[in-house]
Structure 1
Amino acid sequence: MKFLLCFSILLTSLYVFSETEKSSFWKQLEKTEKLRTSDLKKFSHDLKQIERMSEKLSKEEQIYLSFLRGMEDLLLGNSKASIQKVKLVKQSASTSDLKTKSSILLLNTYAITRDWTEGLSEIEFLNKHLETSSQSNVSSRAYLAIAIFYNQLGEYDLGQINAKKALLFNANERTICAANSIIIESRFNLTGSLKRAENVLQNCSKANEPVYSSFLITFVARNNINKGNLDGAEKLLKKHLASTENTQYNYLISEHYQLLAQIYLQKNDLVSAKSFAEKIISMSEDNIPYKPFVAAYKTLYEVSIINNNYKKAIQYFEKYHSYDKKNLNQAKLKSMAVQTIKHKVNEKNNEIEILNKENESLTLQRSLSKKEATNKSLVILLLTLVISFIFIWLYRTKQTHIKLKQLAEFDSLTGISNRRHFTKESESALLHNQSTGQVVSFILFDLDKFKFINDTHGHPIGDQVLQSLKTPVLKHTRKVDLFGRIGGEEFAILLPGCELEKASEIADKIRTEISELDIKVNDKAITITASFGITVSRISGYNFDTLMKHSDEALYDAKHAGRNRCMIYSSSNDEHQTS
């Protein structure tokens, strides 16, 4: 989705003055700006030529030039410099339209830099100023930028709403293509439907919009993969690969590479799978989300395992875990940004309600003061209502804070501790047990072939499997034990006061019950197993990272030994025992 953010920058243009007010320099600036969609190199070259004559430009032309400089910085990947320039343009611009366009460019930039809170603040600014914009094309582009940002955040309902608003202000071919592409993405993520995708793809091709065309192709190809039509997906992606690469938008290109690597891995074409995965990791991560890197390193890990190159497999597995953690953290930041803005909006609305109530109360008091003491009871009643309302507001605010804390500490899918909260609680428990000399055991387990379950039966079934793990774990653990989701299909259990033998017994009971979970697809049971790695503080000490590392090494050996088993870490000779 991020390539659409960059592409929307190319749609931002300036129409600040009438034709009679435009100087030769102004027209030259406009002419240079038009080159950004067709020839970025010439755009930069001509911009430098104008900069050499900057002292001859009027104040308005200087502002225009600064805006184009900020656009060039962002297109060349220098987000920080772009933000500095465009903020100054936004502050100094004399027209509402130029302020709006500057805000659009900042919104796109904040999405690229993953600064979600600042981006939501720009949306608030745009919503206030769009009513005063005199140009429908400016409003249309603003709503497109807002829609793309909301889809990037995962707020697909809001993405659809703003994309439809863009169509109300401007219905040219480019806007129709862009808005409908965003709507297709929203519906695909909400319902899995690609209804009208082929028609929208034809419209985008007709409008000569290769970026949006390639964007839609990724959804059609992904849908084919989900349905098992690997040949159809491969043919579609290869047909449009060259045109996708010509767009020079790295995230769009990485999406195509990721899908091709996935297809070739499933077809057992390991050379091609490795080739496309390596192309992804050779890209800079500055303007690309972490998800393609997660998929690329996982593909390289699986290829190395198949080729028996275990040294490389370990290296790729470590990279996979690193990017998977970054991806999960980024998702949490998105969620927290959305919740924070919603909380601020609720607080602001509550403050307005309180002020309105207080104003009503003061008005009534002034009126009552004229009616002597007979009406004092009414004043007291009104004050009581205001105080009650304040208490209700305080209660709701506290409840909102509790909900935000819940989001920050617990995994939304499974309801158990997330990695951050589990780590914090575990480190506290380890410190206490170390001071009292009490032994602590640590279990790390991972679902076997979980990617196969997702790819074969779909993510809803995969989510059902993850949710079902909570029951067998809580059945065999105590209230003092800690249980958390580390990431993806990986979970951990900390057992204070539990010896290694007992921990191994608990792990094996959980493993057995996981293999007996009754989850069916079309009345046919699916196979679910997990591999476990176990260690104890007598061997690994009380450092959380060391316990994680040693149990992870034992888990790796369990996977290598055939999966669906428990392995105990041993420090004496670096060998792991099967439980």
Structure 2
Amino acid sequence: MAVVCCALAQPGYATPPIANPAKFLDQAESLRLQDHSQFVRMLEQIQPEADALSESDQWHLRYLDAWEAIYEGGSAKSEPQLHQIIDRSGDPALIAKASSLLLKILSTNRRYEEAFALANHLASILPEIKDPSIRFTLLTYLSQTVDLADQTDLAVQYARMAEDAIPPGETACRPLMLQAAALNNGKRLKSASPELRKAIDVCTNARQPVVTNAMWLILIDLYLDENQSGKAMALLDQISPAIQTAHYYDHMLSFQVRRAQAYLQLGNDDEAKKSALSALAMSQPGDLSEQLMDAYQVLYQIEKKQGHTAAALAYYEHYAALDKSHVDDVRARALAYDMAEQQLLVQKMQADSLSKQNRILKLRDDLTSKAVETSRLYIALLLVVLVSVVFWLFRLKRSQLRFKQLSCLDGLTSISNHQHFLGEAERLLQSLVKRQGTACLIAIDLDHFKQINDAHGHALGDIVLKRTVVICRQHLRSTDLFGRLGGEEFCILLIDCQRERGMAIAERIRVVIEATLVDAEGASISFSASLGLACTDASGYDLQRLSKDADTALYSAKRTGRNRLVASGEQVDQAEAQQTGKRASML
């Protein structure tokens, strides 16, 4: 071997230099998911020439190295590289792709506050992105991020937008995969669902083995949920070579766990235990995935069934730790999205049920070994009663707070109603007076909303109102006040916001509303909004005066053509002057 290595190191056996590095890197990037092993070989081939590459090619190579590290499960190494690319490369396309990859890292590492902030930023600049490839990439990662927050409808919407904006060289594989994944996460998918079958067929024909494997694993999950363990096992055997060839950590771990679950359903405890232990062996330090939790649950059930109390207890402790981490993760996401509250309650009840079973097993073991410790049984039972009382008191208190909150919210859109908005706005403006802060009031009115109700029905009108609220919320902070004044009229109070920033936020809202489509009887309809803005630096802190100036600006926007933003003061006069000039020129 030493002789062979020395011979290969001679100049006659050296790899020829790459003639066109930029084209070489583009080709390597296109093979990431189609032929991952070839992608890795191409990276290894170009590494010796890294120092001789141009600056733009060096940044491109760093991006591909970061992507490969994430693929292999090493996101900690990739994050600093992605920040460098975003801050220093100066390449808009590369910055957008690096930002999208960073969004995946933040979401995977459960840094939801940072992930949602970055997602909101990327969504806000989405209307400005004209490059089809960048827009496609951003939409796919946005769909993945909101899916983590259990926002199924929004995740499907982003995936469909990506499907409608497929750039040259791409296929519908990833958008269809994201739609199927979001529907599965929202418990809207069955093993026979056409969305899943279509995604599998398209990704198979597109030769995207990694994405296809993800769809097969979802189908296996559905088979297991439907107690079709035979089909699940047959499919696991079928995709085993593809999983090993792709060598994607998440898929290999999921493959072993699903095999363990399938064996357990089939009654083959020995093989189920082997597969579960294989999954634990390949897991990485600090991995808190649900897949490992499922593996520990399989081992717990096997040891419990075989009467191995101590082993069952040990596996259950691992399961409980992972389950607690998972519950905490759901709670963190629920801070941004109310949809996760019910899911958190269900998981908490499941954890309590398994915890009670574990306490009973432990008490039985203690009673057989130490009769003198029978008092622990009474203590444990007392703790169970106490926890139950505290739990129900907590639920009662939360229900009271929920009812109080609902009295302040609009029944359709779940934002502040007219009365609550005015009261809170008065209070916030009074606090701003004391510290000489600045605020902006935005009045929003949907254009021709009555025509939408008359032409398509009030049900679609309600959908338009809800969609408007979702769009506005994506551009607001937690400190801002958002309310529905009635009908199609909304109002936003931006706290500690200068006029220029308020104008920018209002304009982004208007642009996103204009670009939004709503499905109506097989067709897509668009809608727009007129906005008026007033600020405390010109209108003062009196809510009545501030509202009047914002309404005046809004009416000016309506009179001058709709679907526009007009600010109070000079901008209102200018808008009206422009409209008067247009009428004069027409005459």
The TM-score normalised by the length of structure 1 is 0.55
**Structure 1 residue 268, shift from structure 2 partner:** 1.6
Letter in 1 for 2:61: L
State, as a whole percentage, how many aligned pairs show the same letter: 18
- C-alpha distance in 2, partners of 1:69/1:275? 34
- C-alpha distance in 2, partners of 1:148/1:414? 20
**Structure 1 residue 560, shift from structure 2 partner:** 7.3
**Structure 1 residue 114, shift from structure 2 partner:** 2.1
Structure 2 vs 1, CA of residues 95 and 250 (structure 1 numbering), >3 Å: closer, same or farther?
Answer: closer
Gaps of 5+ in 2: 1-17, 382-587
- C-alpha distance in 2, partners of 1:103/1:261? 37
SS across alignment from 2:186? helix
- Count of matched residue positions in the alignment of Structure 1 and Structure 2: 359
CA contact (8 A) 2:183 2:189 kept: yes
Structure 2 vs 1, CA of residues 232 and 42 (structure 1 numbering), >3 Å: closer, same or farther?
Answer: closer
**Structure 1 residue 279, shift from structure 2 partner:** 1.7
- C-alpha distance in 2, partners of 1:68/1:23? 19
Q: Does 1:320 align with 2:319?
A: yes
- C-alpha distance in 2, partners of 1:256/1:283? 11
Letter in 1 for 2:159: A
Aligned to 2:210: 211
Q: Which has the higher contact order (CA 8 A, sep 6+)?
A: 1
Aligned to 2:223: 224
CA contact (8 A) 1:143 1:162 kept: yes
**Structure 1 residue 139, shift from structure 2 partner:** 0.9
**Structure 1 residue 212, shift from structure 2 partner:** 2.5
* More displaced stretch, 45-54 vs 187-196: 45-54
**Structure 1 residue 300, shift from structure 2 partner:** 0.8
CA contact (8 A) 2:123 2:142 kept: no
SS across alignment from 1:140? helix
* More displaced stretch, 273-282 vs 225-234: 225-234
**Structure 1 residue 59, shift from structure 2 partner:** 3.0
Letter in 1 for 2:189: S
- Of 23, 26, 30 in structure 1, the residue corresponding to residue 22 of structure 2 is 26
Aligned to 2:135: 139
Structure 2 vs 1, CA of residues 62 and 160 (structure 1 numbering), >3 Å: closer, same or farther?
Answer: same
Deviations for 1:137-179, whole angstroms, at most 9, x for unmatched residues?
Answer: 2211211111122223322221101100101111779531211
Deviations for 1:255-311, whole angstroms, at most 9, x for unmatched residues?
Answer: 333232222212221111111111211122469652111111111112112223233
Aligned to 1:248: 247
CA contact (8 A) 2:313 2:362 kept: no
Deviations for 1:327-373, whole angstroms, at most 9, x for unmatched residues?
Answer: 2122222223547xx9xxxxxxxxxxxxxxxxxxxxxxxxxxxxxxx
Pairing of 1:135-534 with structure 2 (within 5 A): 135-170=131-166, 175-194=171-190, 195-196=193-194, 197-285=196-284, 289-338=288-337, 412=342, 488-490=351-353
Gaps of 5+ in 1: 1-21, 343-406, 416-462, 467-484, 493-529, 532-551, 562-566
- C-alpha distance in 1, partners of 2:364/2:144? 41
CA contact (8 A) 2:297 2:319 kept: yes
Q: Does 1:102 align with 2:98?
A: yes
Aligned to 1:556: 361
CA contact (8 A) 2:107 2:115 kept: yes
- C-alpha distance in 2, partners of 1:215/1:52? 34
Aligned to 1:118: 114
- C-alpha distance in 2, partners of 1:568/1:488? 26
CA contact (8 A) 1:180 1:200 kept: yes
Aligned to 1:348: none
CA contact (8 A) 2:257 2:275 kept: yes
Aligned to 1:75: 71
The TM-score normalised by the length of structure 2 is 0.54
- C-alpha distance in 2, partners of 1:259/1:185? 17
- C-alpha distance in 2, partners of 1:252/1:192? 22
Q: Does 1:87 align with 2:83?
A: yes
- C-alpha distance in 2, partners of 1:293/1:96? 38
Aligned to 1:60: 56
Letter in 2 for 1:78: G
CA contact (8 A) 2:86 2:95 kept: yes
- C-alpha distance in 1, partners of 2:209/2:273? 27
- C-alpha distance in 2, partners of 1:38/1:487? 40
SS across alignment from 2:236? helix
Over the residues paired in the alignment, what is the CA RMSD in angstroms?
Answer: 3.6
CA contact (8 A) 2:171 2:206 kept: no
**Structure 1 residue 234, shift from structure 2 partner:** 2.1
Aligned to 2:125: 129
- C-alpha distance in 1, partners of 2:72/2:272? 30
Letter in 2 for 1:59: E
CA contact (8 A) 1:147 1:182 kept: yes
CA contact (8 A) 2:309 2:361 kept: no
- C-alpha distance in 2, partners of 1:305/1:571? 22
- C-alpha distance in 2, partners of 1:290/1:182? 20
